[in-house]
C-alpha cells in the first residue's frame, strides 16, 4: 500500500490585493532577441507565502513469493513513514524559494526465507529485522513554467540542497547501529495542475543527486569503523515519488 499527500496554504490569496495580476498571462523574457522555444505563462504570482505538510506512507508484505528462482518461501514485511513540513516564498513570477524539514521512519522484518544457490546449497534465514530513523532539512529553489493561457497547467523543477542524518540498526534496543550523515544536491522535476484558482495538484520525483556521506559504525556506544564517499546517481524510484495537494487562501 502506498499513500502520499501534501497540504499547503498560502498566507494571502492569489488574487487578494493583486487585481492587476492575470493568471496565465505570458511572461516576457529580459532578452527578447533570443529565439523562444515555448511560451511561459504566469502560474505562481510574485509575493506569495506558502506553508505546507507532506505525508507519505508505504507498506510492503511479500506473503509467499519466489524471486528469480533463488529465494523460496519468503515471508517479509516493511513499512515506511515520511513527514515533511515546508514553507516557501515566491520572490519572482514563477520562481520560489523555500525550506523543508523531513522526518522518516522505516522498518522491516524477514520471518523466514531460503536462498537456493546453484541448486546444491541452501541458506536459511529467519527472524531478521531492521529499523531506520532519519531527520533532515533542505532548502530548495523552484522554477515553474506555465503551459496554458489560463494558468491551469504547468511543469516545475526543484534544485535542492540538504543535510540528512540517519540511524540504522538491525534490531530495536540493540547497542550496535550505524549513523549516516549526508550532504546532498538534488534535482526534482514535476507537474502541477490548478483545477481551481485556490487549489492545485502536483507530483514530482527525485531524479538525480550528488551527495557526500559519512557512515560510522557503533558498538556499545564506541565507534568501530568509519567510511566516507562521494556519490552521483540518476534513477527512478517509486519511493521518491511525491504527490501534493496545495490550497491557496
Q: What would the DSSP string read from start to end of 55-78? A: EEEEEEE--SEEETTTEEEEEEEE
Q: How far is CA 239 from CA 12, 16, 106, 199, 235, in A?
A: 32, 37, 12, 25, 11
Distance separating alpha carbons of residues 52 and 132, to the nearest angstrom: 25
**Contacts for 62 with CB less than 8 Å, ≥ 6 apart:** 74, 75, 76, 77
Tens-digit pLDDT profile for the chain (249 aa)? 444 444 444 434 454 434 556 776 777 665 444 544 567 888 888 888 887 777 777 776 665 444 444 455 556 677 888 888 888 898 999 999 999 999 998 877 665 555 555 555 455 555 566 788 999 999 999 999 988 888 889 999 999 999 999 998 876 556 788 899 999 999 999 998 888 877 788 888 889 999 999 999 888 878 888 999 999 988 887 777 777 777 766
Q: Is 118 within a domain?
A: no
Are 227 and 214 spatial neighbours (Cβ–Cβ below 8 Å)? yes
Residue 58 lies in a domain: yes
Residue 147 lies in a domain: yes
pTM: 0.74
**Residue 51 counted as domain residue:** yes
pLDDT at 221: 78
3-state secondary structure of 83: strand
Has residue 48 been placed in a domain? yes
Q: Which of 239, 31, 43, 216 is nearest to 146 (CA)?
A: 43
Tell me the C-alpha to C-alpha distance, in Å, between residue 170 and each of 28, 50, 106, 124, 231.
56, 39, 12, 18, 24
Q: What is the DSSP string of 4-45?
A: EEEEEEESS-SSTT-TT--TTPBPPPS-TTSPPSSPPBP-S-
Question: How many domains does the structure of the chain reveal?
Answer: 1
Classify residue 145: in a domain, yes or no: yes
Does a structural domain hold residue 153?
yes
Which range marks the domain in which residue 136 is found? 2-28+39-62+74-113+125-247
Q: What is the pLDDT of residue 78?
A: 76
Q: Classify 147 in phi/psi space as left (phi over 0), alpha (psi -120 to 50) or beta.
A: alpha
Assigned domain for 67 exists: no
pLDDT of residue 220: 80
**What is the CATH number for 100?**
2.40.160.20
CB contact at 8 A, 134 and 161: no
Render the burial of 46-73: b for 16+ CB within 10 Å, e for the rest: eebebebebebebeeebeeeeeeeebee
CA distances from 90 to 109, 124, 231 (A): 44, 56, 32
Amino acid at each position: 500500500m502506498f499513500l502520499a499527500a501534501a497540504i499547503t496554504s498560502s498566507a494571502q490569496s492569489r488574487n487578494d490585493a493583486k487585481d492587476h495580476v492575470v493568471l496565465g498571462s505570458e511572461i516576457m523574457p529580459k532578452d527578447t532577441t533570443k529565439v523562444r522555444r515555448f511560451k511561459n505563462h504566469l502560474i505562481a504570482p510574485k509575493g506569495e507565502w506558502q506553508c505546507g505538510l507532506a505525508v507519505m506512507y508505504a507498506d510492503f508484505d511479500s506473503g509467499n513469493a519466489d524471486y528469480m528462482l533463488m529465494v523460496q518461501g519468503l515471508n517479509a514485511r516493511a513499512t515506511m513513514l515520511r513527514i515533511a513540513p515546508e514553507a516557501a516564498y515566491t520572490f519572482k513570477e514563477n520562481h520560489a524559494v523555500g525550506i523543508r524539514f523531513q522526518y522518516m521512519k522505516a522498518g522491516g522484518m524477514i520471518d523466514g526465507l531460503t536462498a537456493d544457490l546453484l541448486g546444491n546449497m541452501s541458506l536459511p534465514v529467519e527472524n531478521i529485522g531492521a529499523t531506520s530513523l532519519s531527520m533532515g532539512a533542505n532548502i530548495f529553489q523552484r522554477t515553474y513554467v506555465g503551459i496554458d493561457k489560463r494558468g491551469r497547467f504547468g511543469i516545475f523543477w526543484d534544485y535542492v540542497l540538504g543535510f540528512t542524518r540517519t540511524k540504522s540498526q538491525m534490531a530495536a534496543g540493540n547497542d550496535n547501529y550505524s549513523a549516516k550523515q549526508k550532504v546532498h544536491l538534488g534535482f526534482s522535476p514535476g507537474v502541477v495542475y490548478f483545477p481551481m484558482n485556490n487549489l492545485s495538484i502536483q507530483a514530482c520525483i527525485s531524479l538525480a543527486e550528488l551527495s557526500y556521506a559519512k557512515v560510522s559504525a557503533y558498538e556499545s556506544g564506541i565507534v568501530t569503523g568509519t567510511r566516507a564517499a562521494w556519490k552521483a546517481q540518476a534513477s527512478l524510484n517509486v519511493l521518491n515519488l511525491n504527490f501534493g495537494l496545495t490550497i491557496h487562501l
